[in-house]
Amino acid sequence: MLISKIRYIHALGVRCSSSHYVTTPIFYVNAAPHIGHLYSAVIADAHCRYQRLRYPDRNVRLCTGTDEHGTKIQQAAAGHKIPVAQYCDEISARYRDVFKAAGIANDDFIRTTEQRHKEAVAHFWQTLQSRGHIYSAAYSGWYCVSDETFLTDSQLRLDEESGTRFSLESGHPVEWTEETNYMFRLSQFQDDVRHWVKQEARIRPAKFEKILLDTLSEPLPDVSVSRPSNRVHWAIPVPNDDSQTVYVWLDALINYLSSVGYPNEKYLKQWPPAQQVIGKDILKFHGIYWPAFLLAAGLEPPQQLYVHSHWTVDGQKMSKSKHNVVDPIQAAEQYTMEGLRYFLLREGVAHSDGNFSHVKALRILNSELADTLGNLLSRACAKSLNPQQIYPAPHAEESSALLKELDAAKRMQESLLQMATRCEQHYECNHFHLVADTVIATLHATNNFFECAKPWELKAGASAANAPRLETIIAMTMDALRLCGIVLQPMMPQLAGRLLDKLRVPGDQRQWKYLASHVTSSSRPLDAQSALLFQRIVEQQDNKPAPEKEKEKKESKRSKAKKQNELKKNKQASSSST
């Protein structure tokens, strides 16, 4: 059934095969951005940056934005005593600013309150209606404002004491609602959606495919796609029926279409999305409702959903009430924005929740960015070893001699030879943590080569005959840094950019294909900018979270007591021996 629908959809327009359209979820404007939100955006951004490096002919497009309608936003604005439109403007601008500060290279930032989006929603609604997929019905159920969805009994937890029901997914309370709504015939798309989910690499990581298939093993109920306007007024009106407004999730999902110009046919040049990045909490909406809505409208569903897990903070769910929400701008003051990007991509894995801890962030950033990457660049650029401040050309006979004489040189070379292929495989799957592992392993091998080659023993003045070897050691080290810099660009565009600038790697030689090219054949001067890539982060006592301070206090008390005990024992021992 689905295959014939897709064929029909293809006939609507010629899809541009070089298009690679990527989306992030659009973010609710009921609260300021935190690192979890930034994580969705950084994954999508790093994915797109890799695509642009690896496939320069592809038309890569990244869209992000804000989700601004519905009860949740209505209530948040009322809570702040600000007119809702102004409230949306303010919070939406904060998302835009955070993403800009974090180097998210989005091609579009869509807001669901924009006219272009309202037109797309109206057109989509009319398409569903004209195809007979919408009907009006009396509807009752438990509505969760925080999740913006009706929930079934199996999705609820009853607190026996208070008699209140809560959403199992989010833990927020639900309210009983009886109203006349428009319903979407979701039940008719069960087989089609299942077929779509089961396609190779459709849902990644695979564990989320299993979750969807489990949900699809039970009959799908039809879903309500409108709310009465007198209850939810901050929403898009249903075409030709002002008494109802469009359900916020249908409204929100259509952003992916409005951004590429739907309903103007030009949208087909970029449709369907190659990858949609989402968090695990919104899997049902993107993995069941969304393909069903699209198929019902005669449109092709996305090629892949990339689902990531969540960040906890020191083992706890992030929440305003726990006062543990990590603000990306504040975190960047300590770690730098590039450091924060690196930490999120290096430490986060899509298939399970990650824990954001200050201690871990310090350890990783100091050891990998400052001590391993930064230190190597500083050493290769040190005036004592490199007085002319050049990226020297290697001497062929010295390179061969080093490779023959030093195991460390061979290990570095092997690591470099494998790096491009391995990192390519990892980037293709959004396995950024494995990209980081591979690059850091290569940098360790290069640091080790530098140590074993002892360039400081060949410094000018020792003997002029040493110059070719010294230059070759620096050239081989800088070349390893150049290659690591190219690979790291999607994860840390600015830091990798500064590294490549320092080495004066021309802008048009930073693409993926240059990983296969060899060292420069003639020496070139280094850029005059500082070689300090990443300043070691020094712990500031006041920045430590309370439990860590407590732990340290206890540890220092314990070690003081231990020392005093030892002193006592020593004294006793010496007095008994005299």
Footprint on this chain of ligand MSP (rule: CB under 6 A): 25-28, 36-37, 39-40, 67, 252-253, 255, 278-279, 281-282, 310-311, 318
Burial of 436 per CB tally in 10 Å (0-12, 13-18, 19+):
buried
Structure tokens at 432: 């950024």
Strand runs (DSSP E) across 234-392, as ranges? 237-238, 241-246, 275-279, 305-308, 311-313, 316-317, 354-356, 390-391
Alpha carbons 93 and 555: distance in angstroms, whole number: 44
Instruction: Find the shortest distance in angstroms from Cβ 26 to ligand MSP.
Output: 5
Q: In terms of CB distance, is 102 or 453 closer to ligand MSP?
A: 102
Buried/exposed 185-202: b ≥16 CB within 10 Å, e otherwise = bbeebbebbbbbbeeeeb
Residue among 373, 384, 118 nearest 251 (CA): 118
Alpha carbons 509 and 91: distance in angstroms, whole number: 39
Alpha carbons 44 and 59: distance in angstroms, whole number: 15
Instruction: Find the shortest distance in angstroms from Cβ 278 to ligand MSP.
Output: 5
Instruction: Find the shortest distance in angstroms from Cβ 187 to ligand MSP.
Output: 22
Instruction: Find the shortest distance in angstroms from Cβ 37 to ligand MSP.
Output: 5
Q: In terms of CB distance, is 269 or 310 closer to ligand MSP?
A: 310
Instruction: Find the shortest distance in angstroms from Cβ 197 to ligand MSP.
Output: 18
- Residue recorded with tokens 């090629």: 303
Q: In terms of CB distance, is 35 or 492 closer to ligand MSP?
A: 35
Alpha carbons 358 and 337: distance in angstroms, whole number: 15
Q: In terms of CB distance, is 284 or 510 closer to ligand MSP?
A: 284
Q: In terms of CB distance, is 282 or 473 closer to ligand MSP?
A: 282
Q: In terms of CB distance, is 277 or 531 closer to ligand MSP?
A: 277
Rounded to 10 degrees, what is the CA torsion of 69, 75, 80, 86? 20
Instruction: Find the shortest distance in angstroms from Cβ 32 to ligand MSP.
Output: 10
Instruction: Find the shortest distance in angstroms from Cβ 80 to ligand MSP.
Output: 17
Q: In terms of CB distance, is 172 or 554 closer to ligand MSP?
A: 172
Residue among 45, 3, 12, 21 nearest 338 (CA): 45
Residue among 68, 120, 63, 75 nearest 94 (CA): 68
Q: In terms of CB distance, is 281 or 527 closer to ligand MSP?
A: 281
Q: In terms of CB distance, is 167 or 386 closer to ligand MSP?
A: 167
Q: In terms of CB distance, is 25 or 205 closer to ligand MSP?
A: 25
- Residue recorded with tokens 């969304």: 290
Instruction: Find the shortest distance in angstroms from Cβ 33 to ligand MSP.
Output: 8
Q: In terms of CB distance, is 12 or 168 closer to ligand MSP?
A: 168
CA distances 461 to 162, 457, 458, Å, are: 84, 10, 8
For 400, residues 6+ apart whose C-beta sits below 8 A from its C-beta are none
CA distances 248 to 32, 69, 147, 288, 559, Å, are: 19, 6, 10, 16, 58
Instruction: Find the shortest distance in angstroms from Cβ 401 to ligand MSP.
Output: 51
Alpha carbons 79 and 370: distance in angstroms, whole number: 44
Q: In terms of CB distance, is 169 or 527 closer to ligand MSP?
A: 169
Instruction: Find the shortest distance in angstroms from Cβ 281 to ligand MSP.
Output: 5
Q: How many residues does the chain have?
A: 578
Comparing every residue's Cβ against ligand MSP, the nearest one is: 279
Alpha carbons 117 and 262: distance in angstroms, whole number: 9
Instruction: Find the shortest distance in angstroms from Cβ 521 to ligand MSP.
Output: 47
Q: In terms of CB distance, is 27 or 335 closer to ligand MSP?
A: 27
Instruction: Find the shortest distance in angstroms from Cβ 273 to ligand MSP.
Output: 12
The one-letter code for the residue type at 155 is Q
Residues 245 and 229 sit within 8 Å (Cβ to Cβ): yes
CA distances 467 to 173, 395, 517, Å, are: 73, 10, 25
CA distances 484 to 257, 286, 393, 440, 444, Å, are: 37, 36, 18, 9, 12
Instruction: Find the shortest distance in angstroms from Cβ 64 to ligand MSP.
Output: 10
143: three-class secondary structure by DSSP: strand
